[in-house]
Amino acid sequence: MPQVTLVEAVNLALARAMADDAEVLVLGQDVGTDGGVFRATVGLLERFGPERVIDTPLAEQLITGMTIGMAAEGLKPVAEIQFSGFGYVCIDQILNHAGRMRHRTQGRISCPMVMRTPCGAGIHPPEHHSESPEAMFAHIPGIRVVYPSSPRRAYGLLLAAIQDPDPVVFLEPTRLYRLFKEEVEDDAKPLALDTCFTLREGTDITLVTWGAMVHETLQVASRLEQEGLFAEVIDVATLRPLDMDTILASVAKTGRCVVVTEAPRSGSFAAEIAANLAEHGLLSLFAPVTRVASYDVVVPLSRLEAAYMPGTERILDAVRKCLAFG
């Protein structure tokens, strides 16, 4: 079984989906000749031709509009927006057209599209290249928001997103693109959407996170284990619709919860999870739900990037306070 990086797993899933279904195509700036800004689509043009691997102008609204139109006509387009910070102009069409297509047509037309976009900080890029916009997309009714955290989950979840009959925003953590490798079998098997993945079993505290922050959160869980404390680590993976049952069941077991996100604190998706726990899991809690997030500022340039994002020490500090409460 080959060891691949996360970005190679994305490429593997795209190639598999296109080989198995002639209706699947990819489009976006530089996805063809250049193989994508991070090389996620490298080799697809040579293998599937220019009618299924379409280089577009640098015009995100055009890319989104074409994608919605193709999906409404029965194709299964996968669009690439080079960085999520350039995806805000796409929200108008995603919110007003893609997300409403099934409802507006009373179920006659669906919108089987995927919008892939790299996101998150940690690779020292300039502004607009490090955003964490998952809460904005998760607020839009009618779409799924998927955020893989490893090569294996990127492969399986992208296959599932492409097969989904409704629109999916697929957020890819740039920091993890080439951070580590994992065995990924190109077996065409999708992973389940709309469900959390429990990465570690534990009894003392529940750590909930997604995307790149899964990496630091697992490191914290390993450090806690050396002290005889066992953290349950949950990778949310699909933010909308949210699998709250898995999180509630875990908190019922541990009684404590820290939610970790790379996005700015105010209005983050961590707040949604904390609110759900307060509403439906209050009697299970021994301590207030704690959020560890980035700061409510524009993502800084490279010199301050590490101070902006939650690191293991900030997560560990929050965990210790949560464990000490009461």
Active site residue 129: yes
3-class DSSP state for residue 15?
Answer: helix
Among the listed residues 97, 103, 129, 215, the single catalytic one is: 129
Round to whole Å and give the CA distance between 132 and 233: 21
Q: Is the dihedral of CA 164, 3, 49, 16 positive or negative?
A: negative
Type of residue found at 301: L
3-class DSSP state for residue 257?
Answer: strand
Please tell me the total number of residues recorded for the chain in this structure: 326
Are the beta carbons of 260 and 210 closer than 8 angstroms? Answer: no
Q: Which residues contact 34 (CB under 8 A, 6 or more apart)?
A: none
CA atoms within a 13 Å half-sphere pointing along the CA-CB vector of 14 = 32
Which amino acids are annotated catalytic?
129
